[in-house]
Structure 1
Amino acid sequence: MNIRTLETFVWIARLGSFRATAKRLYASQPTISARICSLEDELRTELFDRTGRKAVLTAKGRQLLVYAEKILQLHSELLETVARPDAIHGTIRLGVSETIAYTWLPRLIEKISEAYPAINLELDVDISVNLADKLTSREIDIAFLIGEVNQPDFVSRPFCRYSLVWVTSPMIALPAEPISLANLSRIPIITYPRRSEPYANIRSLVTPTNHPTQIHSSSSLSTIIRMTVDGLGISALPREILTRELATGVLREFQVEAALPDLVFSTAYSASPGAGVVRAVAELALATVAEGDGTHGWQQADQLC
């Protein structure tokens, strides 16, 4: 019985699958099965009921899970307290909204590399709705996303926000500013995906005008920016990701009579035992935002909420 075997057992209990655990721990499925068989032989009891499609804990398995999680928690605390940072190794999967990838993510990766040089990172850039699903299904360890993750056993903390500015290509002739909602609804709008919070906010802004507004959505910020530069519509985006376009004049800001809500981002991660390093990385993210450097416009969410 060792830490690796107990970790394998706990992940099967969480995911309900030997195959998913093998993927999560970067091991082959026969290796995962061998670890559990060895553990069951040592304890002389079955830990999982394998008759169905999912691996379900037996009564003895549920008893072991309580102790295994305590042991993993103590092991994590031991490493954090006693071990040198370069002795802490493994892989952390970061789920990142594209807005974050455009702004302070490189600085966070730099800080993680300095603090934990033996930690490997896997980046998953996706829309916030998908990141929340991936986090709760344990496909990623930490999510930086719009909104919160309100699920048991997960920590969710607001940490930064971005204001949205309306931008257009100089090729598009606009009415006098500030543009009324009635006039805004007559211009094609390019924005975030249909299931996103910004899309819903823009839709609620123009719907009362009773005009069939064209709203083109994309899960790629680079595509939204490109379409806006090409004059296919207008957009409302964080100024921080448009620095080059605004500086070169391929896009310009304009004013609308009603403001859109800020994009408020949270960091969310599992509060399960053994997640000490994951929690430490989340704290590094908060510290990265708190420091700032005068060149970015993000602000800590708790300063404005």
Structure 2
Amino acid sequence: MDIADLQIFATVARLGSMRKAGEELNTVQSNITARIRTLEENLGTSLFERHHRGVKLSAAGQRLLPYYERLAHLMGEARQATLDDGIPKGPLKIGSQETTAALRISPVLAKFLRQYPDVDLNLRTETTANLIGSVLDHKLDGAFVCGPVNHPNLTASPCFSEELAIYGPPDMTSIAEQCDDTRLRIVVMNAGCQYRFMLEDFLTRLGRKNVPVLEFGTLETVINCVSAGLGITMLPRALLAHINRIGPVSLHALPASCAHVETVFIQHKDALPTSARTALFQTIQNHWDDVNADDDRHSRQAAPNASLRVIS
């Protein structure tokens, strides 16, 4: 068994077909079939179940596939380590919640790319749960997610604290009144959205359990549905200006005890500390140290905003 055999195995598993794997790997189907058969003989077990439409992984094949993915990742890291001369460059994949991307991280990424133009930065927006999974699977080099994050294979570095608020239809007068409405619905991003869990917990403490949930794929759709009166959502208060450009909503402050959430930058503990990754992390730390210092100065100088009713 060698890495080339495992690559063929993984390609067949992904495509579900020996023929398609041969086409992708630029070889004849008979060669693919022979290599898979030899691999199965060496391992003493069948890796695929054959059917008239192609093949699918057997139980043994499902157990083997993650080992190939780990080996492929290590091979990629070995190549990166060999080519890394200390100058940040090459691919760098970063994830973020959509709200954080829209509101917070553009300046830090712009600053990073101005300083390191040879880095090929890719940003992907997902829910917190999906981003954590992608970092654990080494599909992302790091991600901005809703904290706290406690996992033995991840490091989590605090970036900033976000004030949350309830957004409702334009005619919504209070959260308490909305909770009394039997038609109450939660409107959120797709499954895995941390704000959804926090909103459900908040409503439970107000006596509303198992509130129906409407899930959508984009922030714009969520806001359009809230604006149309389909339900309420929980999002950062600082998004208000951005949200008002999408559709009219009402904003309702939360009690101080549950109004704040920390955004953290997570990385895999075993990830290769490439020059690009190290430079990005240092840029993030420096940027948010400066931002948080400015926020502290402004909060001491600004008068409290009493325009919103805080419910308890």
State whether TM-score is above 0.5: yes
Equivalent position of 1:207 in the other structure: 204
Tell me if 1:198 matches 2:195. yes
Give 3-state SS (helix, strand or coil) of 1:253's partner: strand
CA–CA distance in 2 between the matches of 1:210 and 1:104? 32
Correspondence for 1:188 among 172, 178, 185: 185
CA–CA distance in 2 between the matches of 1:129 and 1:109? 22
1:293 deviates by: 9.2
1:106 deviates by: 1.9
User: Does the C-alpha gap of structure 1 residues 212 and 128 become closer, same or farther in structure 2, counting only changes over 3 Å?
Assistant: closer
- Structure 2 matches for 1:122-137, cutoff 5 A? 122-137=122-137
CA–CA distance in 1 between the matches of 2:142 and 2:251? 34
Equivalent position of 1:268 in the other structure: 266
Equivalent position of 1:108 in the other structure: 108
* Alpha carbons 2:184, 2:212 under 8 Å: kept: yes
CA–CA distance in 2 between the matches of 1:273 and 1:165? 38
* TM-score normalized with structure 1 length: 0.63
Tell me if 1:119 matches 2:119. yes
Write the letter of the residue equivalent to 1:232: L
Deviations 1:138-174 (A, max 9, x none): 111111112326143x43212222111122232x343
CA–CA distance in 1 between the matches of 2:210 and 2:266? 37
Equivalent position of 2:222 in the other structure: 224
Equivalent position of 1:38 in the other structure: none
Equivalent position of 1:240 in the other structure: 238
* Alpha carbons 2:159, 2:265 under 8 Å: kept: yes
CA–CA distance in 1 between the matches of 2:124 and 2:230? 29
* Alpha carbons 1:186, 1:211 under 8 Å: kept: no
Give 3-state SS (helix, strand or coil) of 1:233's partner: coil
CA–CA distance in 2 between the matches of 1:71 and 1:127? 30
- Structure 2 matches for 1:53-202, cutoff 5 A? 54=64, 76=84, 79-80=85-86, 85=87, 88-147=88-147, 148=149, 150-152=151-153, 154-170=154-170, 172-174=171-173, 177=174, 179=176, 182-183=179-180, 187-202=184-199
Cα-Cα RMSD: 4.3
* Unaligned residue ranges in structure 1 (runs of 5+): 1-8, 21-28, 32-49, 300-305
CA–CA distance in 1 between the matches of 2:254 and 2:182? 11
* Alpha carbons 1:167, 1:236 under 8 Å: kept: yes
* Alpha carbons 2:89, 2:276 under 8 Å: kept: no
CA–CA distance in 2 between the matches of 1:227 and 1:260? 24
* Alpha carbons 1:180, 1:256 under 8 Å: kept: no
CA–CA distance in 2 between the matches of 1:259 and 1:180? 20
Write the letter of the residue equivalent to 1:195: G
* Alpha carbons 2:223, 2:246 under 8 Å: kept: no
CA–CA distance in 1 between the matches of 2:248 and 2:80? 54
CA–CA distance in 2 between the matches of 1:113 and 1:155? 23
* Unaligned residue ranges in structure 2 (runs of 5+): 12-23, 27-41, 48-60, 299-312
* Alpha carbons 2:223, 2:247 under 8 Å: kept: no
Write the letter of the residue equivalent to 2:260: D
1:133 deviates by: 1.0
Give 3-state SS (helix, strand or coil) of 1:179's partner: helix
User: Does the C-alpha gap of structure 1 residues 182 and 243 become closer, same or farther in structure 2, counting only changes over 3 Å?
Assistant: closer
1:291 deviates by: 2.5
1:219 deviates by: 3.9
Write the letter of the residue equivalent to 1:150: H
* TM-score normalized with structure 2 length: 0.61
* Alpha carbons 1:179, 1:255 under 8 Å: kept: no
Equivalent position of 1:251 in the other structure: 249
User: Does the C-alpha gap of structure 1 residues 217 and 295 become closer, same or farther in structure 2, counting only changes over 3 Å?
Assistant: farther
User: Does the C-alpha gap of structure 1 residues 71 and 236 become closer, same or farther in structure 2, counting only changes over 3 Å?
Assistant: closer
User: Does the C-alpha gap of structure 1 residues 232 and 295 become closer, same or farther in structure 2, counting only changes over 3 Å?
Assistant: farther
User: Does the C-alpha gap of structure 1 residues 219 and 277 become closer, same or farther in structure 2, counting only changes over 3 Å?
Assistant: same
Give 3-state SS (helix, strand or coil) of 1:242's partner: helix
* Alpha carbons 2:165, 2:254 under 8 Å: kept: no
* Alpha carbons 1:218, 1:224 under 8 Å: kept: yes
CA–CA distance in 2 between the matches of 1:169 and 1:288? 35
Report how many residues are paired. Answer: 244
* Alpha carbons 1:92, 1:141 under 8 Å: kept: yes
